[in-house]
Amino acid sequence: MTKREKISSESVSSSRRDFLRSATGIGLGATLFSFAPASVFALPGTRKVVVVTFGGGARDEETFMPGGQGNIPHLLSELIPRATFFSQVINRGILGHYVATASLATGAYETFNNFASVPPDHPTVFEYFRKDLRRPATDAWVVAPSNGFGRIGESGNRLYGAGLGAGVILPKRLLTAALSSGGTRDYDHLLRDSYESPLYSQTLAGDAQELHRVGEILKLSVDDFTKLARSSASPDELSVYVAHRLMQRLAPSLLWITLHDMDIAHSGAYSLYLDGIQRSDRLCADIWKMIQSEPEYAGKTTMFILPDFGRDSDSEAGGNGFQHHRTGDVRSRTTWMMALGPGIRENVIVERPVESVDLVPTLGSLLGFSARLSSGKPLTEIL
């Protein structure tokens, strides 16, 4: 990192920290590090983890800055006071949603084509978890927004890979399969698989077999699933419902949910981007409430929330502000992460720069597996 980048990343972090301090009365993690390590609160091996990522980052201007706070009331008032908040999470990889989310899941910067249907090169967190801890396939799941995320559950790494990954549910693809059996209609919204390139609508291949397989797992009929979709405002709402069913039916120890509504920012409509942020804010609070209300999860689940990366700043001439994440500027590379749950210190801000690839080794330390091929480092502040 150059000196200029370092200073700029720190200023991004500082503005976030200053606002959080004033808004929530949060203290600095550094002042608490002399206290007993959090591991004294560590729970026995029943621990579960839910990771929520935002595909399509939300900028500070629309979230943590004073003008944006109205968009994230649930994060600010319900979740951050319970969380350890990392205010400077840097993503040094490719800023495309599939490849970046795959990098989050492997703890290594993947370099494949963002729009290609390929598995990650490095082992995923699901493979480390299942192989090291000898966990069954039903214990690790991904609920992801679009067809492009179909291969995220399992890498192409020869030491891991086949048969060791997570089950992946793509609710939009299921819905396409469900609808295709009931006649044709205008489902253009569903067919928009990726907001990153609105010029390009990859056709969602609805797989009837997959639909029935997942229906069996979730104990949800095709009719019920379709009815549910009819009452959902957005694909993310559908994803969260599916995740909830998974929690109720299989109670996986490792559940990864990727929200994507806010990425409609690529369409250039600022108001729709704000709607997406507000919905994600509400859904994060809903997921936390689900965790607290489900006996298999209450009191033993750590939740992580983090955007995959940011978006371009208004001051970057090469970009078009909130619309894209193409410049690779500091704002688009710097984001945040919060962790909350038993054993995690509450009301704490960690200012030091960390990287988005640090998530997987941190999960490894929490759950007891080794992320041996990850380039990240465990975040000691929450271990």
**Maximum distance among all Cα pairs of the chain, rounded to whole angstroms:** 64
Within positions 326 to 365, which residues make up the interface with other proteins, using CB under 8 A? 327-329
Q: Which of 269, 299, 352, 372 binds other proteins (CB under 8 A)?
A: 269
Q: Segment near other proteins (CB under 8 A), from 185-193, 212-220, 336-344, 358-366? A: 185-193
Q: Which of 134, 188, 209, 295 binds other proteins (CB under 8 A)?
A: 188
Within positions 124 to 143, which residues make up the interface with other proteins, using CB under 8 A? none
Q: Is residue 40 close enough to count as binding other proteins by CB under 8 A?
A: no
Q: Which of 39, 181, 201, 221 binds other proteins (CB under 8 A)?
A: 201
Q: Which of 15, 24, 138, 232 binds other proteins (CB under 8 A)?
A: 232
Q: Segment near other proteins (CB under 8 A), from 15-23, 187-195, 304-312, 364-372? A: 187-195
Q: Is residue 270 close enough to count as binding other proteins by CB under 8 A?
A: yes
Tokens at 249, concatenated: 């039916």
Q: Is residue 317 close enough to count as binding other proteins by CB under 8 A?
A: yes
Q: Is residue 58 close enough to count as binding other proteins by CB under 8 A?
A: no
Q: Segment near other proteins (CB under 8 A), from 233-241, 251-259, 295-303, 342-350? A: 233-241
Residue 238 C-beta: closest distance to other proteins, Å? 7
Q: Is residue 156 close enough to count as binding other proteins by CB under 8 A?
A: no
Please classify residue 184 by burial: count the beta carbons closer than 10 Å to its beta carbon, then call 0-12 exposed, 13-18 middle and 19+ buried: exposed
Q: Which of 136, 199, 209, 295 binds other proteins (CB under 8 A)?
A: 199
* Cβ contacts of 332 within 8 Å, gap of 6 or more: 57, 95, 309, 310, 311, 312, 313, 319, 325, 326
Q: Is residue 272 close enough to count as binding other proteins by CB under 8 A?
A: yes
Q: Is residue 223 close enough to count as binding other proteins by CB under 8 A?
A: no
Q: Which of 143, 168, 170, 179 binds other proteins (CB under 8 A)?
A: 179
Nearer to other proteins, 108 or 166 (CB): 108
Tokens at 194, concatenated: 């990726």
Q: Is residue 268 close enough to count as binding other proteins by CB under 8 A?
A: yes
Within positions 86 to 105, which residues make up the interface with other proteins, using CB under 8 A? 92, 94-96
Q: Is residue 67 close enough to count as binding other proteins by CB under 8 A?
A: yes
Q: Which of 314, 352, 368, 372 binds other proteins (CB under 8 A)?
A: 314
Q: Is residue 234 close enough to count as binding other proteins by CB under 8 A?
A: yes
Please classify residue 351 by burial: count the beta carbons closer than 10 Å to its beta carbon, then call 0-12 exposed, 13-18 middle and 19+ buried: middle
Q: Is residue 197 close enough to count as binding other proteins by CB under 8 A?
A: yes
Nearer to other proteins, 112 or 304 (CB): 112
Q: Is residue 271 close enough to count as binding other proteins by CB under 8 A?
A: yes
Residue 326 C-beta: closest distance to other proteins, Å? 9
Q: Is residue 68 close enough to count as binding other proteins by CB under 8 A?
A: no
HEC letters along the chain: CCHHHHHHHHHHHHHHHHHHHHHHCCEEHHHHCCCCCHHHHCCCCCCEEEEEEECCCCCHHHCCCHHHHHHCHHHHHHHHHHEEEEEEEECCCCCCHHHHHHHHHHCCCCCCCCCCCCCCCCCCHHHHHHHHHCCCHHHEEEECCCHHHCCCCCCCCCCCCCCCCCEEECHHHHHHHHHHCCCCCCCHHHHCCCCCCCCCCCCCCCCHHHHHHHHHHHCCCHHHHHHHHHCCCCHHHHHHHHHHHHHHHCCCCEEEEEECHHHHHHHCCHHHHHHHHHHHHHHHHHHHHHHHHCCCCCCCEEEEEEECCCCCCCCCCCCCHHHCCCCCCHHHHEEEEEEECCCCCCCEEECCCEEHHHHHHHHHHHHCCCCCCCCCCCCHHHC
Residue matched to tokens 């699901």 = 126
Q: Is residue 233 close enough to count as binding other proteins by CB under 8 A?
A: yes
Enumerate binding residues for other proteins (CB under 8 A). Answer: 2, 5, 67, 92, 94-96, 109, 111-113, 115-116, 179, 185-190, 194, 196-203, 226, 229-235, 237-238, 264, 266-272, 274-275, 314-315, 317-318, 320-324, 327-329
